[in-house]
Structure 1
Amino acid sequence: MKSAILTSSMMLAAAGGWIAATMFAQPATSKEPRFPQLTMDQLSAAQKPLGEEIMKISSVGIGGPYNPLMRSPVLGQRLFDLFHYLRWETSVPTKLNEFAIIIIGRQWRSQVEWFAHAPLAAKAGLSADIIAEVKEGKKPSKMAEDEAVVYDFVTELTTTQKVSDETYARAKKVFNDQQIVDLTAVAGNYVMVAMMLAMAEETVPPGKESPFKVGEK
């Protein structure tokens, strides 16, 4: 039953999620990729079970952060399960969850995270103005109370390594304990994903425009 739910939920991402969006992304430079793109027939016995789970939700292969993570298949499997919770079972409303993800994507200037999640944030109801201002590196000028809490909570935690009593008190007014924990986890998770993508020099799919231009702050 759990496997069926996982497969069904993850299939929803195939059309627009970050997994499908990052398939076969390669470095923007002409040098050799740090992690050549794996195919199913190249996978070892230890890698194949994870590869088969990924293939259930994508018809184009294994890419994005999964390409480097496949080199550590036990870790990759654990993160695959974590990604599932933080995307489809989290207690944080989807719009706010995606907002937190694009905040991290912008902090890291992660081409893949922004390319994949900005459209998902818009689809979930986050305003185009908020998305545009975050992309420009600005604090959005007009946010609902829960959106402002997410922005300040995530930004404060990731840039100052703490959450002030004032910010925490604001969060407690709009979120319960589980939501605060889940919000913290999704922010931290996508820092890790951004790190993995940056280390592996993964970028947007061929033929797609990178969200962040060279030289932009």
Structure 2
Amino acid sequence: MTSHPAADAKNWGGRLPRNETLELDDDQRAASDQVRGRTARWAEHSGFAPTDDQGGLIGPFNAFVLRPGQAQGFNQWVQHDQRHSSLSATIREVVILSVGLAWDADYEIYAHVAVGRTVGLSETVLEGLRTGSTEGFTHDEAAAYRFTDQLVRTHRVDDAVYATAEEAFGRDGVLDMVHLIGMYLATSALLNAFEIPAP
């Protein structure tokens, strides 16, 4: 069962006002309803809290309500990727956590450690992602980690790392990894720019 943080324990909006404290316009109210109806249910099922103990949105979800147009486009990108990616659920979580850890994006790490456990990532892999050790990783987990970590930290991928990733995932898989990296770079930037905390 997902544990929800106390509403008054921390400023869960970071630098942003909580949408529960604002007079929302129609688009913002619709965005809030959509987040609560779809995204929040997925988060709960995946083992992390999208709300505080009084139902106020936390993490990036508060920010999504404040700028609903951008959030809608971003969420369509995420949903399309989830439905059509050639990558397995575990490899997707290796990629997402590699980005979040490189950016030290607390809420992203918190949320996707929970998702990783839900989809079957081992504790060895979760710890290895934190420490940079691929001991105990499968070949594909190590390939995804090295590709993502190198691209995020150095902004390039060397030939050997690229070749290993292409051998593991094919051209479509490498393209899917790069799109997924972009999504979670954007998420990490949002979380860090506004100092949005994790439970």
Question: Given the alignment, which residue of 62, 77, 94 partners 2:89?
Answer: 94
Question: For this pair of structures, how many residues does the alignment match?
Answer: 184
1:43 corresponds to: 24
1:170 and 1:121, CA in 2 relative to 1: closer, same or farther beyond 3 A?
same
2:35 corresponds to: 54
Distance 1:202 1:119 in 2: 18
Aligned pair 1:200/2:194, yes or no?
yes
Task: Name the amino acid aligned to 2:133.
Answer: K
2:179 corresponds to: 185
Distance 1:159 1:166 in 2: 16
Query: Which aligned pairs between 1:159-170 and structure 2 lie closer than 5 A?
Result: 159-170=153-164
Aligned pair 1:103/2:98, yes or no?
yes
1:69 and 1:149, CA in 2 relative to 1: closer, same or farther beyond 3 A?
same
Name the structure where helix makes up a greater proportion of residues. Answer: 2
Aligned pair 1:85/2:66, yes or no?
no
TM-score (norm 2): 0.80
| Residue pair 2:31, 2:64 contacting (<8 A) in 1 also | no
Deviations 1:42-101 (A, max 9, x none): 321232222221121337343311222333221111112122233444221000001111
1:126 corresponds to: 121
> What secondary structure, in the 3-state scheme, does the structure 2 residue paired with 1:47 have?
helix
Deviations 1:146-193 (A, max 9, x none): 111101110111112112222221122121222211111111211111
2:142 corresponds to: 148
User: Over the residues paired in the alignment, what is the CA RMSD in angstroms?
Assistant: 2.8
| Residue pair 2:143, 2:164 contacting (<8 A) in 1 also | yes
TM-score (norm 1): 0.74
> What secondary structure, in the 3-state scheme, does the structure 2 residue paired with 1:102 have?
helix
Deviations 1:8-47 (A, max 9, x none): xxxxxxx77xxx979979548xxx9421211398321232
| Residue pair 1:101, 1:117 contacting (<8 A) in 2 also | yes
Structure 2 residues without counterparts, runs of 5 or longer: 42-54
State the percentage of identical aligned residues. 22
| Residue pair 1:112, 1:197 contacting (<8 A) in 2 also | yes
